[in-house]
Amino acid sequence: GENVEQHPSTLSVQEGDSAVIKCTYSDSASNYFPWYKQELGKRPQLIIDIRSNVGEKKDQRIAVTLNKTAKHFSLHITETQPEDSAVYFCAASTGTASKLTFGTGTRLQVTL
């Protein structure tokens, strides 16, 4: 089955700096890669996603890149703000209506 690895497990940046979180996946059939943000005690919130026919996608300060050949994808957050502090999870799935396999999460802390 699919295996998703995520790095780093913790990341501390200063406000205004950029943050990058990287994930690798094992199943070449995976074609949908969402990212979720989870604040303490809250639900995972979908923040951005990318499909395998696209190499990069941007939404304001957030961008995701996908390298199908290397089987890795990354989340980039620019101009970080304290409210970006949370745990971020990457995930992968092999179809439009199939289960998500999650990475182990990255705890991002944005300091003033």
Cα angle 80-55-67, degrees, rounded to a multiple of 5: 90
Q: Interface with another protein includes 34 (CB under 8 A)?
A: yes
Please report how close the Cβ of residue 86 comes to another protein at its closest, in angstroms: 14
Q: Interface with another protein includes 98 (CB under 8 A)?
A: yes
Q: Interface with another protein includes 66 (CB under 8 A)?
A: no
Q: Is 100 in contact with 2 (CB distance < 8 Å)?
A: no
Q: Which of residues 45-64 bind another protein (CB under 8 A)?
A: 45-46, 49, 51
Measured between alpha carbons, how far is 98 from 85 in angstroms, rounded to an integer?
A: 29
Tokens of 41: 């005690």
Q: Interface with another protein includes 93 (CB under 8 A)?
A: yes
Q: Interface with another protein includes 100 (CB under 8 A)?
A: yes
Cβ-count burial 60-87 (b if 16+ within 10 Å, e if not): eebbbbbeeeebbbbbbbeebeeebbbb
Q: Interface with another protein includes 18 (CB under 8 A)?
A: no
Q: Interface with another protein includes 3 (CB under 8 A)?
A: no
Residues in contact with another protein by CB under 8 A are 1, 32, 34, 36, 42-46, 49, 51, 89, 93, 95-105
